[in-house]
Amino acid sequence: MNLDERLEALTQSVELLGAMHKDNERLMRETNEATQKELLRLGRYIHNVSELILDHETRLRNLEGNDENEEPEEE
């Protein structure tokens, strides 16, 4: 292998590495975007569930005849 062949091989290797790096950056960007969307969706879900829990607690207190401001009755 002469010097020109070595330089050509190195050039091709660098070009291949550059293309691979570019592909990896694109994949990471897509993965990050998908992860952010999923985290937002999960955050909304958790918020909705917590609202449901609070609503149910309020309904239970009302059914039991206890307002939030009243002390629970001792038995």
Arithmetic mean of pLDDT, 18-36: 98
Q: How many CB atoms lie within 10 A of CB 53?
A: 10
Which pLDDT score, from 0 to 100, does residue 1 have? 83
Mean of pLDDT over the chain: 91
40-70 pLDDT per residue, tens: 999 999 999 999 999 999 999 999 986 555 5
The pTM of the full predicted model, rounded to 2 decimals, is 0.58
Q: How many CB atoms lie within 10 A of CB 66?
A: 13
**Tokens 């550059």 — which residue?**
18
